[in-house]
Amino acid sequence: MDKEVRVRFAPSPTGPLHIGGVRTALYNYLFARQTGGKMILRIEDTDSTRFVPGSEDYINEALAWLGITIDEGVREGGNYGPYKQSERRSIYHEHVKILLDAGKAYVAFDTPEELEAKRKEIKNFQYDASTRQLMRNSLTLGEEETKRLIDAGEKYVVRFKIEPGTDVTVHDLIRGDVTINSSVLDDKVLYKSADDLPTYHLANIVDDHLMAITHVIRGEEWLPSAPLHVLLYKAFGWADSMPQFVHLPLLLKPNGNGKLSKRDGDKLGFPVFPLEWHNPVDGSISSGYREAGYLPEAVVNFLALLGWNPGDDREVMTIDEMIRDFSFEHCSKSGAKFDFEKCKWFNHEYLINMDDAKLAGLFMPILAQHADSAKFSHDYVTKAVSLVKSRITFVKDLWDQAGFFFEAPTAYEEKDVRKRWKDDTPKVLTELIGVLEGIADFTSKPSEETVMSWIEKNGYPLGNVMNAFRLTLVGACRGPHIFDITELLGKEETIARIKEGIAKIKKADA
């Protein structure tokens, strides 16, 4: 039997989770759930200079909102903890020592000024096999001097000693084999004595190994680091348990030119973060999908299809379908255009497919802001919502579309009045009141039949009568089927509104 799939989402707490990071988390989640494996959340906080307070809570809250559940992590616990890198220092010390003792890494004392001087002196300087003998490190200074300097408290780093001239191949489940020559790599810093912390590269691969990660699924921006990671796996003697790599395509600007950035969102008016973010450093606020009125299911569906397709033209899919049908074979190598209009479309689709009573529940707080919601039964609100939901993108749009069900018009759309309110309209509508009063079953169909035959019998112009009627009920010539409106408003309210309209609406040329 294959070993249990273990994937990890490994964000750094350097600010709010970008929507691209959410997509990475989602693909990890889909794969973990499909395979019955484990989804791990690891906090990569080794870069102390970029730490932003509140980020970790934000990440947890965002994933919870989206329904991306975690099996092992800082909050969830698990057998492979700690799940926060700043709590794993001793583990990294141990592993740095393993590489140093094996001669696969070395200590370097070069100061920033010395490095800068070398960069000026040597064109395209890179700290590697061709230059390391020119530098101040344990290879050139010898063991004793190195020890003396360390004991004297001189700051140092540990660098990975990369052997030049060998081909390094990364097996990627989306991209196939990606091969580079080790000579292009520099001797990456693995550890810094200044803050006693490992760098991303060391911590990342040590943790992936110790946490028994089987698939590293992450953004394409990490592909250039992958050959180094392969070499580190080999240096530790872990080549046999190397995870599968999966580098997901970039998210591109809506016009397809270049990587999606926060600025694109600001400029074009869409969020690039799942939740609103209050920046603790400068007090600025960035918008989020949740606060903008998106349903988490819609955001998830939208993101799932940014870089993956189910192999057919399905778009709206349940999470279970996505889990079942997800595959790396159907992930694209090329970047995915971030078409936020499509996200609105998904939101609309999810809202119209939602159970009416549930949608009414989501609308209640908005209704309460505008009207005395206690006056209306849940059933009434549910019916109102069901009649207009085909016209909305966000729950908040329900007030614009259905507000007239909860309060009689106080003003009448001028251009509709001009077009539809004729000299004889008050007379015709007064007659209509009589017709409506005589209807015993005030539901949509019978009301429609009675009113239509009255119009026909008298030879009234259908368009004008119906639009003037609508104007008195809605305040404008828009809204759902008129007899669905009258059914819900009821006879008394319908007639009251017609009377009010007759009293208030002044004909266009008066």
∠ CA 6-8-14, nearest 5°, is 170
Whole-angstrom CA distances from 70 to 251, 304, 310 are: 24, 18, 24
Site size toward ligand GLU (CB under 6 A) is 7
Q: How far is the CB of 215 from ligand GLU (least distance, A)?
A: 11
Out of 84, 192, 234, 262, the active site residue is 262
Report which of 3, 70, 67 is spatially closest to residue 42, judged by C-alpha positions: 70
Nearer to ligand GLU, 63 or 451 (CB): 63
Whole-number Å distance between alpha carbons of 252 and 256: 5
- Listing DSSP states for 381-445 in one string gives HHHHHHHHGGG-SSTTHHHHHHGGGTS--SS--HHHHHHH--TTHHHHHHHHHHHHHT-SS-SHH
Q: Which helix (H) or strand (E) holds 278?
A: strand 277-278
Per-residue binding letters, 201-220, with ligand GLU (x by CB under 6 A): ---x-------------x--
Nearer to ligand GLU, 224 or 256 (CB): 224
* Amino acid letter for position 254: P
Question: Of these, 44, 72, 207, 484, which contacts ligand GLU (CB under 6 A)?
Answer: 44
Report if residue 45 touches ligand GLU, rule: CB under 6 A. no
Report if residue 10 touches ligand GLU, rule: CB under 6 A. yes
Nearer to ligand GLU, 12 or 214 (CB): 12
Report which of 363, 251, 257 is spatially closest to residue 304, judged by C-alpha positions: 251
Q: How far is the CB of 319 from ligand GLU (least distance, A)?
A: 23
Q: How far is the CB of 317 from ligand GLU (least distance, A)?
A: 26
Report if residue 11 touches ligand GLU, rule: CB under 6 A. yes
Nearer to ligand GLU, 27 or 340 (CB): 27
Per-residue binding letters, 470-499, with ligand GLU (x by CB under 6 A): ------------------------------
Q: If DSSP codes are grouped into helix, strand and coil, which group holds residue 103?
A: coil
Report which of 122, 67, 41, 461 is spatially closest to residue 295, judged by C-alpha positions: 67
Whole-angstrom CA distances from 396 to 121, 332, 402, 411 are: 63, 35, 10, 21
Question: Of these, 51, 65, 222, 442, which contacts ligand GLU (CB under 6 A)?
Answer: 222
Q: Considering only the stretches 6-14, 310-318, 361-369, 494-502, report the one whose residues sit in contact with ligand GLU under the rule CB under 6 A.
A: 6-14
Q: How far is the CB of 204 from ligand GLU (least distance, A)?
A: 5
Annotated active-site residue 253? The verdict is no
Nearer to ligand GLU, 132 or 201 (CB): 201
Whole-angstrom CA distances from 32 to 84, 326, 411 are: 21, 10, 56
Report which of 416, 479, 487, 422 is spatially closest to residue 451, judged by C-alpha positions: 487
Q: Considering only the stretches 7-15, 130-138, 403-411, 430-438, report the one whose residues sit in contact with ligand GLU under the rule CB under 6 A.
A: 7-15
Whether 232 contacts 185, CB under 8 Å: no
Backbone angles phi, psi at 406, to 5 degrees: -110, -20
The widest CA-to-CA distance across the chain, in whole angstroms, is 112
Q: How far is the CB of 315 from ligand GLU (least distance, A)?
A: 28
In the chain, the N- to C-terminal Cα span, in Å, equals 86
176-205 residues near ligand GLU, rule: CB under 6 A: 204
* Crossing angle of the two packed helices 296-304 and 340-352, in degrees rounded to 10: 130
Q: How far is the CB of 166 from ligand GLU (least distance, A)?
A: 23
Question: Of these, 5, 12, 245, 381, which contacts ligand GLU (CB under 6 A)?
Answer: 12
Nearer to ligand GLU, 11 or 37 (CB): 11
Nearer to ligand GLU, 205 or 351 (CB): 205
Q: How far is the CB of 169 from ligand GLU (least distance, A)?
A: 18
Applying CB under 6 A, the residues found at the interface with ligand GLU are 10-12, 44, 204, 218, 222
Active site residues: 262
